[in-house]
Amino acid sequence: SIAISPQGNTLISGSADKTVKIWHPGSGELLYTLTDHLSAVTTVAISHDGATIASSSQDNTIKIWQFE
């Protein structure tokens, strides 16, 4: 699953390796890796202001990640 911020400056990916990754879409640089899920990440979303990320997983959890 992928999501891009409304501003176009952040790309979020969720994958089978149980991670949520935050990328710079222009350079392709990996900025952060979030590792709190226990199973594959199936869905990611980013808030309008880019400060909040939500992810869901096959472990039946939803995680909310806050950035400042």
Indicate the pairing of strand 20-23 with strand 30-34: antiparallel
Give the count of domains, the chain.
1
pTM of the predicted model as reported, rounded to 2 decimal places:
0.90
Distance, CA of 3 to CA of 24 (rounded, Å):
12
Query: Domain of 25: which CATH number?
Result: 2.40.10
Q: How far is CA 3 from the centre of its chain?
A: 7
Assess whether pLDDT exceeds 90 at residue 68.
no
Looking at residues 48-65, what average pLDDT do you find? 96
The domain containing residue 45 runs over which residues? Answer: 2-66
For position 13, what pLDDT does the model report? 98
Looking at residues 53-57, what average pLDDT do you find? 98
Confidence of residue 67 (pLDDT cuts 50, 70, 90): confident
Looking at residues 23-47, what average pLDDT do you find? 97
Higher pLDDT, residue 37 or 67:
37
